[in-house]
């Protein structure tokens, strides 16, 4: 169990020198216990005390890195149960399965498909970031051959899924530089898997039936010197898995229970209903998997899964924003329309998509409204005639729109009179909804 504030205080110098920016050693101890300060911030603490305090100052859920270089996926180090309390810091890894029981041609084709599963949403590329190679054949040589195909063709991080240490070793020999997750350490094989992981500096996935057995297993693996662990309580049904994921997260955060203070892996695989597979995977992303493994591979399955992950791991305190200023759609000339919108990504990309579908080259002036949508920004006085006029001046819109006409969203039509006075421009009130832009632009600016 984690140390209490008083436990920590007993190990501090008790001189109240204030160099840690806390007024007293006791205040500092309380901050360390609440994970608000690191023990290293006290320059006078002894090495011996530091070792003892390590448990108290470590994050409640360990940070684990899988993969190397640009493909590295970091999971864990979360500090809250609910996103609105703060934010979730490390997006859940999404892994798609590959079976070593398939032919080499089928494996290569599946990997090609995975590599091309990249989508663009609100200006961000979202993609599958891991491949989980399953040792369904039970044959170490086939497992190694399948892993090599995946490692050669796919730039993502890898999970090697086998309970056979010989198979893990054979596969690891062809991809050790990728620092894969060795998934499948159980009570029976944990010594061999831990030795392999320690030798190659790889993270380990620990699997046990039930939380008690899992806590025992993680202590054994960490006692063997493995630094990074991912846990699996062995459940597979949606309800049972959701319960386990939630219990483990609560133990880690609410009880500071170190043996379960690890990121979790969940499996949305093997079902008959492809829609249910996606729903299960999305549920696990929301609560509280660090890695979701799925056999879903169709774009219609992965797009909603990756979108859900993007939404859940977006900091609710800072909406996704696009750069303010002029954005060009197509190659607008001096007669092209000039539209106004806000810098909330969802708003901007909706407008941009609708303008694109009109096929009328257009300039869009994006006003910095701190990532809020049109009506919210207007209500918060961030999209008033004064701010719009200032944005027009800053972006020197006269150079790109010498006709001196600007189209404002219909939702802020009330600003048109004042904006005309402020700028001297002709203010045209556009459609209320972005979906009205294609027909509006074609009818009024189609030439
Ligand atoms: Fe106490 Fe160390 Fe802080 Fe000084 S720096 S007040 S000794 S905890």
Residue 50 has pLDDT above 90, yes or no: no
- Residue 8 Cβ inside 6 Å of ligand 1? The answer reads no
What is the band of 4 on the pLDDT scale with cuts at 50, 70, 90?
A: confident
What is the band of 124 on the pLDDT scale with cuts at 50, 70, 90?
A: confident
What is the band of 108 on the pLDDT scale with cuts at 50, 70, 90?
A: very high
Identify the H or E element spanning 93.
strand 93-99
In this structure, the residue with its CA closest to atom 2 of ligand 1 is 42
> When comparing pLDDT for 3 and 279, which is higher?
279
Distance 426 CA to ligand 1 centre (A): 65
Residue 1 has pLDDT above 60, yes or no: no
Distance 49 CA to ligand 1 centre (A): 13
Number of neighbours of residue 293 by Cβ within 10 angstroms: 26
Identify the H or E element spanning 329.
strand 325-329
Token representation of residue 195: 């030795």
Token representation of residue 215: 């806590």
CA distance 140 to 37: 47
CA distance 88 to 215: 24
- For the ranges 51-65, 300-314, 400-414, the lowest mean pLDDT is seen at 51-65
| Dihedral pair phi/psi, residue 272, rounded to 5° | -85, -20
Distance 43 CA to ligand 1 centre (A): 7
CA distance 334 to 35: 58
Residue 264 has pLDDT above 70, yes or no: yes
pTM: 0.76
Q: Token match 């305190």: residue?
A: 317
DSSP 380-428: TTSSSHHHHHHHHHHTTGGGT-TT-EEEE-GGGGGGHHHHHHHH-SEEE
For residue 436, the model assigns a pLDDT of 95
Distance 35 CA to ligand 1 centre (A): 16
Kindly tell me the sign of the dihedral angle through the C-alpha atoms of 90, 92, 96, 99: positive
Ligand 1, residues 8, 11, 12: which to mutate, most atoms within 8 A of Cβ?
Answer: 12
pLDDT in tens, 214-243: 999 999 999 999 989 999 999 999 999 999
Atom of ligand 1 nearest to the CA of 18: 6
As a whole number, mean pLDDT of residues 134-142 equals 98
As a whole number, mean pLDDT of residues 402-431 equals 96
DSSP 264-323: EEEEE-S-S-HHHHHHHHHHHHHTT-SEEEE---SHHHHHHHHHHHHHHTS-TTS--B--
For residue 384, the model assigns a pLDDT of 94
Number of neighbours of residue 328 by Cβ within 10 angstroms: 12
As a whole number, mean pLDDT of residues 171-181 equals 95
- Percent over 70 (pLDDT), the chain: 98
- Residue 19 Cβ inside 6 Å of ligand 1? The answer reads yes
For residue 320, the model assigns a pLDDT of 80
DSSP reduced 3-state for 119: strand
Token representation of residue 281: 């995977």
């Amino acid at each position: 169990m984690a140390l209490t504030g008083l436990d920590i205080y007993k190990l501090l110098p008790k001189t109240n020198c204030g160099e840690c920016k806390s007024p007293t050693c006791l205040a500092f101890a309380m901050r360390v216990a609440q994970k608000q300060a690191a023990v290293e911030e006290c320059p006078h603490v002894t090495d011996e005390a530091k070792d003892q305090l390590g448990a108290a100052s470590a994050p409640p859920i360990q940070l684990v890195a899988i993969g190397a270089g640009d493909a590295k996926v970091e999971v864990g180090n979360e500090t809250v149960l609910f996103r609105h309390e703060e934010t979730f810091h490390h997006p859940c890894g999404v892994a798609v399965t590959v079976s070593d029981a398939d032919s080499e041609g089928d494996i290569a084709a599946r990997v090609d498909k995975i590599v091309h599963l990249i989508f663009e949403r609100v200006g961000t590329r979202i993609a599958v970031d891991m491949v989980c190679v399953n040792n369904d054949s039970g044959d170490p040589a086939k497992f190694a051959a399948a892993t090599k195909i995946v490692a050669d063709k796919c730039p993502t991080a890898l999970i090697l899924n086998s309970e056979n240490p010989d198979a893990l070793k054979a596969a690891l020999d062809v991809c050790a530089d990728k620092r894969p997750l060795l998934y499948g350490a159980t009570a029976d094989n944990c010594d061999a898997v831990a030795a392999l992981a320690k030798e190659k500096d790889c993270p380990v996935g620990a699997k046990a039936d039930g939380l008690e057995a899992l806590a025992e297993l993680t202590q054994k693996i960490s006692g063997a010197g493995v630094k990074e662990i991912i846990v699996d309580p062995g459940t597979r049904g949606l309800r049972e898995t959701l319960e386990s994921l939630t219990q483990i997260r609560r133990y880690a955060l609410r009880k500071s229970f170190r043996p379960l203070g690890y990121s979790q892996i969940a499996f949305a695989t093997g079902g008959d209903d492809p829609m249910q597979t996606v729903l299960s995977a999305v549920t696990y992303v929301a609560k509280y998997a660090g890695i979701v493994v799925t056999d879903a591979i169709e774009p219609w399955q992965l797009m909603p899964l990756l979108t859900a992950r993007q939404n859940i791991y977006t900091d609710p305190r800072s909406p996704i924003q696009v750069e303010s200023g002029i954005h060009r759609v197509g190659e607008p000339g001096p007669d092209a329309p000039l539209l106004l919108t806000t810098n909330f990504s969802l708003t901007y990309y909706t407008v941009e998509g609708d303008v694109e579908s009109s096929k009328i080259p257009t300039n869009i002036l994006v006003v910095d409204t701190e990532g809020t949508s049109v009506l919210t920004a207007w209500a918060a006085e961030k999209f008033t005639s004064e701010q719009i006029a200032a944005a027009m001046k800053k972006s020197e819109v006269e150079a790109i729109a010498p006709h001196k006409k600007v189209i404002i969203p219909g939702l802020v039509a009330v600003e048109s009179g004042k904006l005309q006075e402020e700028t001297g421009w002709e203010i045209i009130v556009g459609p209320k909804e972005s979906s009205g832009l294609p027909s509006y632009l074609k009818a009024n600016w189609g030439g």
